[in-house]
Structure 1
């Protein structure tokens, strides 16, 4: 993903969560609200470096306050409602035990922009500025848009872990087979070197190639190695030799760019090239972006584990047993 795609992905996932809250809230408000509290505690910790905890796990049914960070002295209310009455209702509760803490309000489904210009009662005089301490989807995305690519990538990784959808194995294998067929159509026969059938020591190879953000991708998608091996074996038994064709296709992209790129940038470029080749094919049937990214990452990581791309560690010439 490039920087623009990072923002698009974040917008998509947070908007989908807000829509789910809006649509399902009336049917399952309590469970969904608790899930949202936990999610936003982890999300804001990732985004701002806070140490929020869900107060309900420490003090069940705590009034007005849902999340708390004792280190930074922050208390937060998470709400599916964004009205002046809702904010003031929280601020007027007995919050004397939080004297010296900053109060923040998170609207998890409604736009709260009009609240930032209102005068809000704050009888316990918690530190609270509506312009900066009321958060909603719009303000969160505005903040994320101003982050650098590395930080946006970190947020994307978090969202994929927290909000990623369950993988349908049948659909995944169908998508993978389609992409393998597309990549195998190219004539890569000039590069007919054999490939490993057993993964090398992945951690060793990641360290040797100084891969940082790619580490998470490799560790996550290397779990699909048996799935890819099975698909390749099925094709190869039919005499199609698609495994060699696809692996050599990915290797060609690596070779084409390794002179000017290295490390994470090279890994990203290879992934981008594979994705572009698949999508440019006349045989490509469009699928949701998340499904496409999943399949492309699986194929590239598989090529990495089979040592078709990136260097093997010095003195480490044999596959792990």
Structure 2
């Protein structure tokens, strides 16, 4: 199914770039248009087998075109404007500069969306541009690329797109990441009825695990160590790369303290039974809210919070 994956990635990448151009232009930020010239130069060379070069770098006077292939005698203007007036101006300059003597064909690539001009051709006796065949947009490129039967060529195009574009992270994250994100998102919700009512004890993990839960210390330590191998890096990445911030993480810890203490009480002080109950509760919670669920990730997150004393908070009574 490599072909299907490549086609999907082409559609995603070019559609994303098209949207970026639209947003930038709507704010009069046109620098992205200049960068697009070099990008589409490389892409069109791969798609059509051209040998295009950026004419604006070679010849500052070539006002009508941005890219040129002298070998195949193809000239291309890259634009984000689809107005008829712009098309007429381009063709007029192409003729005025005598570029039709050097290039047999002028193409206009609209990097947003082209317009369907009523006139079938634009130009004069020296040169005519076919408005149906010689004006392309991103949709035409996507169709051309995804319909190509050459799998190696399709892969080369995907590799080019990956190298040239920095797309934002996709939402289709691994289940273990979604599980941890979902748990943190829920328990850090400031509108939650228990928000802000947690404990404030300083963590004393050694005393908790090896004294308070001495009968279960081996189980807790082994579970943490085993989970860290699989999920330690995942949890750290979630904390660093998500947009939760320290406020939400502290809020999550606060909620966990009160919630886990009530579960521990219901389980007669048995941490093993309480942990299983907490994980089961999270599984039901995330499932009901449309999240995927990875039990191992949830277990590690809970154990990690236990080590930090956010699960089953240590409550030592001081005697005056």
TM-score (norm 2): 0.50
SS of aligned partner of 1:132: coil
Match of 2:144 in 1: 143
Coordinate RMSD, CA, aligned: 3.6
Distance 1:6 1:125, change over 3 A: farther
Match of 2:108 in 1: 105
Equivalent-residue separation in structure 2 for 1:95 and 1:147 (angstroms): 36
SS of aligned partner of 1:121: strand
Match of 1:56 in 2: 56
Alignment of 1:251-270 (within 5 A): none
SS of aligned partner of 2:68: strand
Contact residue 120 and residue 132 of structure 2 kept, 8 A: no
Equivalent-residue separation in structure 2 for 1:97 and 1:53 (angstroms): 15
Distance 1:61 1:29, change over 3 A: farther
- Unpaired runs of 5+ residues, structure 2, are 181-221, 231-291, 296-320
Distance 1:133 1:44, change over 3 A: same
Equivalent-residue separation in structure 2 for 1:137 and 1:51 (angstroms): 20
Match of 1:19 in 2: 19
Distance 1:124 1:59, change over 3 A: farther
Distance 1:19 1:122, change over 3 A: same
SS of aligned partner of 2:44: helix
Match of 2:163 in 1: 161
Match of 2:46 in 1: 46
Match of 1:296 in 2: none
Contact residue 176 and residue 293 of structure 2 kept, 8 A: no
Query: How far is the alpha carbon of 1:31 from its aligned partner?
Result: 1.4
Match of 1:119 in 2: 120
Contact residue 52 and residue 69 of structure 1 kept, 8 A: yes
Equivalent-residue separation in structure 2 for 1:76 and 1:38 (angstroms): 12
Alignment of 1:1-321 (within 5 A): 2-27=2-27, 29-60=29-60, 62-93=62-93, 94-101=96-103, 102-112=105-115, 114-115=116-117, 118-123=119-124, 125-126=126-127, 128-148=129-149, 149-165=151-167, 178=177, 238=225, 242=229, 282-283=293-294
Query: How far is the alpha carbon of 1:124 from its aligned partner?
Result: 6.0
Equivalent-residue separation in structure 1 for 2:132 and 2:122 (angstroms): 14
Query: How far is the alpha carbon of 1:46 from its aligned partner?
Result: 1.1
Contact residue 118 and residue 130 of structure 1 kept, 8 A: yes
Equivalent-residue separation in structure 2 for 1:7 and 1:46 (angstroms): 15
Distance 1:8 1:124, change over 3 A: farther
Query: How far is the alpha carbon of 1:99 from its aligned partner?
Result: 1.1
Contact residue 70 and residue 102 of structure 2 kept, 8 A: no
Contact residue 53 and residue 67 of structure 2 kept, 8 A: yes
1:169-201 alpha-carbon deviations (Å, 9 max, x no partner): xxxxx979859x9xxxxxxxxxxxxxxxxxxxx
Match of 1:250 in 2: none
Equivalent-residue separation in structure 1 for 2:61 and 2:14 (angstroms): 26
Contact residue 37 and residue 66 of structure 1 kept, 8 A: yes
1:96-149 alpha-carbon deviations (Å, 9 max, x no partner): 14415110001111233x13x633321263464332221112211221221123
Query: How far is the alpha carbon of 1:58 from its aligned partner?
Result: 1.2
1:213-265 alpha-carbon deviations (Å, 9 max, x no partner): xxxxxxxxxxxxxxxxxxxxxx9x9466948xxxxxxxxxxxxxxxxxxxxxx
Count of aligned pairs: 189
SS of aligned partner of 1:143: helix
SS of aligned partner of 1:82: coil
